[in-house]
Amino acid sequence: MRLPSHREGWPFIAIFVAANVLAFAISVWLGWVFVPLTIWCIAFFRDPERVTPTGEGLIISPADGVLLPLVHAAPPAELGMGSEPRLRLSIFMNVFNVHVNRVPISGTVEALSYRKGRFFNASFDKASEHNERMSIRIRPDNGAGELAVVQIAGLIARRIKCDLIVGEQVRRGERFGIIRFGSRLDVYLPPGAQVLAVAKQGVKAGETVLAKLS
């Protein structure tokens, strides 16, 4: 049986639980003060199952959170996708969202690139350009044009985890990584993709349809 928490969180959960037990040993009152923090830590690393929608060319959300205003921007230069602006869908994750990331579309991982950077608030547009990030280029199975997925560290986030490798075949909705604690994911759509989500909409990784390939 799969544990309901992501493996990246196990050491943190163990530390918080041990600290909470120690707090109770010192003082019952102190122990109860720490209980909400322990519950939050367990909740942060939760990894629920998701039912991914089926359908040709659907692009689903890679993260839980809120869809920020849609903009046109060039994909990260390190991915080699050119400087032509594309429609970018950005999802902001706060510290209470599920932070496990999922693949938006079935295809092949063509490129991966990690870049160090700063830690601006992930809700700011400048976070896409200046913050620490992991950029992923995926070629969809139907050949409708490549898209980019970018994991971006936020103001509090200090670790980006990506389990993908170049050349790997991926399926829509499967887990590929996690960011802690509070962050952002950008999706750069192929030309001609039809956007089905709207700004300020709440989205769920692996379930919410963001767009559809032409």
Q: Which residues are catalytic?
A: 183
CA distances from 84 to 13, 47, 65, 109, 111 (A): 44, 36, 27, 21, 18
Residue position matching structure tokens 């990506």: 162
- How many Å separate Cα 39 from the centre of its chain? 22
Burial 96-114 (b: 16+ CB within 10 A, else e): ebbbbbbbbbbbebbbbbe
Q: Give me the numbers of helices (H) and strands (E) for the chain, helices first please.
A: 3, 15
**Structure-token pair, residue 22:** 């120690």
Question: Among 184, 181, 176, 179, which residue's Cα sits nearest to residue 206?
Answer: 176
